[in-house]
Amino acid sequence: MIGLLVATVILPQLLPNDDGDAITYTEFIEQITDGNVESITINNGTAAISGEFSDGTKFRTIGGGDRGMSEADERLARELGVKIDFDMPSNNWLLSILGLMLPVMLIIGFFVWLQRRAQGQMGGVMSIGKSKAKTYDADKPNTTFADIAGYEGVKTEINEVVDFLRMPERFKEIGARIPKGILLVGPPGTGKTLFARAVAGEAGVGFLSVTGSDFMEMFVGVGASRVRDLFQQARRMGKAIIFIDEIDSIGRKRGAGLGGGHDEREQTLNQMLSEMDGFETSEGIVILAATNRPDILDPALLRPGRFDRQIVVPLPEFEERRAILEVHSRDKRIGSDVDLETISRATPGMAGADLANLVNEAALIAVRRGSKEIQRVDFENARDRVVLGASRESLILSSEEKKATAYHEGGHALLSTVLPHGDPLHKVTILPRGMALGVTWSLPQERHTYSKEFFEDTICKAMGGRVAEKLVFGHLNSGAANDLEQATGIARRMVREWGMSDRVGPMAWAGQQAVFLGEDLMSSQREYSDDTAKLLDEEIARILNEQEHRAMDLLTEHRRGLELIAEALLDQETIDGPEVARLIQKAMAETGQGDVELFMNVLGTPE
């Protein structure tokens, strides 16, 4: 309406004017006196004068002509035979209507806006029980198995679901029944959600994605209503995959909450159990769920007929890490000195999300460094930042603190090198990183089981910093707090859980864990006598004291090597594992202790 009004007012002024040449009122009177004017027209509304000359040319007056003609001038024109007409222009009907209708329309529009706003609020209340699942287009899958590097075993297991949704008749002919539900279990960042999207992309069916928290609402019964709506939506799609991420938020064990159960969560879980029993596999609906806490799920949710199968998505192995790094490096400008195989060997324990973050962090460091490509040093700095923490360049240590840190980290580094059963030493630095004033970094190897000797060497290495300060300076400080916490935790689990104490024997007692359920609180109560508790404490203390004495003996034996390592750290601030081994060998040659190369546990050198 506003645009129409503006066009009506402005456009007539912009259109070409055919009223003729503009002349002044004085020129107009002169033309009348000379007898050159044939006729004139006076506008009664604006008093504007226009007319036509004897030769047919049109004209209009400007200036004084907007006041009309005086009686003398009008009488003169009539005497000279000029034809005079008076014009009364009609009003613009469109402008008149707009002037009347505009206030009315504004009032009507205001009431319409109020009504729609009220309807929207009521609609939000009425649709609170609707499912919040996101629907993805089956014809345009964004993710397939080709986008997932490694995990061939997981792909093989989950590929049965794809085959069933593509060709269900093959399973019907032989009488096989596809699992109704598949639970993806694994640590965070391993790609469980990515696998669910890839299944939908490979099968070419509808994909409904929802998280467990989407079912929770302040009103009791809303979660159950959303579950019903979700399954109805899937049935309307024919063949579909329902993916529930973080299912542990609604699938926890019922009746075990502290202070009474959460009624809304339990009603939601009950409705989900009922819906999963209410459809047959022939309907073509498969439920995928993901969690990293399968131990807290309700047993009724995991029984056959509901989530029949659990697929473990573990942390990637060496080959899988290399493939994941290649995927995330596709769109990056990688330097020629970068070896992804070396990086994958140096990143054990990292999930896919960690590796993606590592590559991105290396790219950021390369940009910050001013380089046009990502080089090996960028990946090393990115790995140090991710694993050890950001360097605190603003932290300035005094000379005494720096020397104490050098001997502390030197003790860790020396024991990491001479002890045969631990992880090999990679790097040691006295540059503050994260919350630590210095870091000794050993690269974890690909292990799935750990020996008693490995844990003993790990505790001994943890004692190395504390013992080195005591050996050199004769006193202790608070810098070994984290080392003691790590050593005590390992010793406690050796005695209480892993049966690595001869006096305690083959008994396992549950460790103190966070209370998530009421039964956890009950099970966390002590289940053994005071005598057993005293025995456990004595064995934990024995292991810690033995390894501290062992560390003291080794550091005393290699005192010269400790001094060389500390001097190198004070000079260079960061040295690698092979350099530590070289310094120890140099010290042993000086003291006449012989060659200990066969006992060096350093990455890149023979053990």
What is the CATH architecture assignment of 2-87?
2-Layer Sandwich (3.30)
Report pLDDT for 15: 56
Q: Which of 14, 64, 69 is CA-nearest to residue 37?
A: 69
The alpha carbon of 576 is separated from its chain's Cα centroid by a whole number of angstroms, namely 34
Among 383, 431, 392, CA closest to 409 = 431
Beta bridge partners of 43: 87
pLDDT of residue 13: 59
**Is the per-residue pLDDT at 607 higher than 80?**
no
Least confident of 231-245, 262-276, 282-296: 262-276
Q: Which of the pair, 349 or 607, is modelled with greater confidence?
A: 349
Residues 101 and 94: their CA atoms lie apart, in Å, by 10
Give me the half-sphere count of Cα atoms (radius 13 Å) on the Cβ side of residue 57: 9
Are 391 and 432 in contact by the 8 Å Cβ rule? The answer is yes
Cα 39 to Cα 76: distance, rounded to the nearest angstrom: 13
- Mean pLDDT across 255-261: 50
- Are the C-beta atoms of residues 77 and 38 closer than 8 Å to each other? no
Q: Sign of the C-alpha dihedral, residues 216, 217, 219, 224?
A: negative
What integer pLDDT is reported at residue 22 of this predicted model?
76
- Report the length, in residues, of the chain: 607
- CATH class (in words) of the domain with range 399-599: mainly alpha
Identity at 525, one-letter amino acid code: Q
% pLDDT > 70, the chain: 78
Helix (DSSP H) and strand (DSSP E) numbers for the chain:
21, 14
- Residue 281 token pair: 């596999």
**What whole-number distance in Å separates Cα of residue 224 and Cα of residue 231?**
11
Q: Is 174 exposed, middle or buried (0-12, 13-18, 19+ CB in 10 A)?
A: exposed
Better-predicted residue by pLDDT, 439 or 592: 439
Q: Per-domain residue ranges for the chain?
A: 2-87, 134-312, 318-388, 399-599
Q: Where are the beta strands (DSSP E) in 478-544?
A: none
d(CA 372, CA 382): 16
Q: CATH number for 134-312: choose from 3.90.25.10, 3.40.190.10, 3.40.50.300, 1.10.579.10.
A: 3.40.50.300
Share above pLDDT 90 across residues of the chain, in percent, rounded to a whole number: 5
Asked whether this chain's domains 2-87 and 134-312 adopt the same fold, the reply is no
Give the catalytic positions in this structure. 409
For residue 528, the model assigns a pLDDT of 77
The pLDDT of residue 259: 43
Q: Which of 11-15, 259-263, 370-374, 590-594 has the highest mean pLDDT?
A: 370-374
Q: What is the pLDDT of residues 314-330, one digit of tens each?
A: 888 888 888 888 888 88
* Beta strands 21-24 and 83-87, pairing class: unpaired
> Alpha carbon of 483 to those of 408, 439, 559: distances in Å?
11, 11, 21
Residue 574 burial by CB count (10 A; 0-12/13-18/19+): exposed, middle or buried? middle
- For range 504-512, the mean pLDDT: 75
pLDDT in the model for residue 183 = 84
Indicate whether 241 pLDDT > 70. Answer: yes
Tokens 């009431």 correspond to what residue? 111
Band (pLDDT 50/70/90 cuts) for residue 240 is confident
Report pLDDT digits (tens) over 450-495.
888 999 999 999 998 889 988 888 888 877 888 899 999 999 999 9
Query: What is the tens place of the pLDDT at every residue in 148-206?
Result: 777 777 887 777 777 777 777 777 777 777 777 888 888 888 888 788 778 777 777 77
Fill in the DSSP letter of residue 602. B
In this structure, what token pair is assigned to residue 115?
A: 């009504």
Q: What pLDDT, in 10s, does the model give residues 210-219?
A: 776 666 554 5
- C-alpha to C-alpha distance for 317 and 121, rounded to whole angstroms: 52
Interatomic CA distance for residues 455 and 421, integer angstroms = 8
The H or E element that residue 153 is part of is helix 152-166
CATH class, 318-388 region:
mainly alpha
How far, CA to CA in Å, does 428 sit from each of 156, 187, 417, 566, 570?
42, 29, 11, 10, 12
Range list of β-strands (E), 250-355: 285-291, 307-312
